[in-house]
Structure 1
Amino acid sequence: MQLAIFDLDNTLIGGDSDHAWGEFLVEREHVDGERYRSANDRFYRDYQRGELDIFAYLEFALEPLAQLSQGQLGNLQRAFMEEVISEIWLPQAEELIAGHRRDGHHIMIITATNRFVVEPIAARLGVDTLLATEPEEVEGRFTGRVAGEPCYQGGKVLRLHQWLAHNPAYAASEKWFYSDSINDLPLLREVEHPVAVDPDPRLRTEAENRGWPVISLRGEE
């Protein structure tokens, strides 16, 4: 049994859903406009440099989930998919997933973005397993806090190992991992088949030095 693992943002979709969700909340006036946008942009720059304080970011990013009602969140989630995610959809990503599925591989997305934002995207892509950062819920309401280990940098390795412990049939399987980001270097080093997808400059250099494949799902390679 083999495992095909994919990062999500800027890998399977042509943008960052986490940052885009923040922009979407600003545009819908559910957060404090310029203050929220400024912080959202600053955290994204930190992420791109590989310097994100993930717990500070999650305190910021998960707060709106606790402030909005379940009805509001459901409506926003659907609108976000229709208005934002549809615009950055990558048909070549669907083709890549389909190829692994034809080969009988288990399809997994592993992403630092929280489950509320990414679950509808993963569902549309038809993946078998989603590992994401988990927003804490109490009695059906988000608390604004994170539950468990954030699925970020080395946390992705930990979360994958936890999943493998509960799914031992895949423990010794060949594994592919596709990512665009230097933040995913810990997991890329773990798998038999690391692939850089439309990589950021630091990951591109790392991939070239290590002889890893570099591909594009945007028709750019």
Structure 2
Amino acid sequence: MTYAVVFSDVDETVIRTKSMFRFLEFYLAHRGEPAGTYERLVGEIRRGADSGVPRHEINRRYYRFYAGEEADRLAAVGRDWFAHESERGLFVPETRRALDAHAAAGEPIVLVSGSFFACLDPIAEETGATWAIGTRPVIRRGRLTGEVLVPMIGAAKGRVAHVAAAVRGADLAECAAYGDHISDLDLLGAVGHPVVVGADPGLNAHADQAGWRRLPIGDGEAELRELETI
């Protein structure tokens, strides 16, 4: 079957890592920050999550770490980060093979993620994705303000599927989507051919009930989730 559009989450679906956190660690080291800076900032995120701060607000807090940073510099660091991660085996092989097959069939691929351009642009280029739609930082005079327009979390991913399909004149019933976490439910539920990647208990329980396709991934191919906040 040929799909009108193929949507996919990114972190722990297409790649093995939480891109935002791995990039933050790389970026801070590139900037010459002490080793403890990363742990301090991630600790702030973790405490917010543990206290019940909603995922979309946690996503906003993350981007405040980049207030004042030049967008072009972040994009350049993102390319270096991608090269570094690729040497370590960045992609989930099972999903990468599936996306390669979609690309070879000429099916447009749309990446949808709470991450941002520094991480997503090189991943999109490597996978041949048509679009990469992530959380969009507000940029003024070439610098990030620390604020974002809409966190690309949860229901926002489902809305992207509707908009992207409409722009391309595609029927969502003829589209596919890949996701690994219960927060991808809105994206997966928007299409006619959802694929659940990995072993998230909540999402797999839903998949079993709904009769969705599952794509198991090999042991050790995806990192343990260090944070379930974004």
Please, what TM-score do these two structures have when normalized by structure 2?
A: 0.79
- Alpha-carbon separation, structure 2, partners of 1:114 and 1:95: 23
Instruction: Say whether residues 1:126 and 2:128 are aligned partners.
Output: yes
SS in 2 for 1:67: coil
Matched, 1:35 2:40: yes
Q: What is the RMSD of the two structures over their aligned residues, measured on CA atoms?
A: 2.7
3-state secondary structure, aligned to 1:163? helix
The equivalent residue for 1:183 is: 183
Residues 220 and 204 of structure 1: CA distance in aligned 2, closer, same or farther (over 3 Å) = farther
Residue 57 of structure 2: aligned partner: 56
Structure 2 residue identity aligned to 1:122 = A
- Flag structure 2 segments of 5+ consecutive residues without an equivalent: 222-230
3-state SS of 2:148 partner = strand
Retained in 2: the 8 A contact 1:179–1:199? no
1:73-97 Cα deviation digits (max 9, x unpaired): 2443233112235422234333211
Matches within 5 A, 1:58-207: 58-70=59-71, 72-87=73-88, 88-147=90-149, 149-167=150-168, 169-171=169-171, 174-207=174-207
Q: 1:11 to 1:55 in 2, by over 3 A?
A: closer
* Counterparts of 2:170 and 2:33, CA distance in 1: 42
Identity %: 25
Per-residue deviation, 1:70? 4.7
Quick one: which amino acid aligns to residue 214 of structure 1? R
Shift of 1:40: 3.8
Runs of 5+ unmatched residues, structure 1:
none
TM-score normalised over the length of structure 1 = 0.82
Is this contact kept in 2: 1:153–1:185, CA < 8 A?
A: yes
Greater mean deviation of Cα atoms: 34-43 or 155-164? 34-43
Instruction: Give the distance between the partners of 1:104 and 1:69, measured in 2 at CA.
Output: 35
> Would you tell me which structure has more strand in proportion to its own residues?
1
Letter in 2 for 1:191: V
- Partner letter of residue 91 of structure 2? W
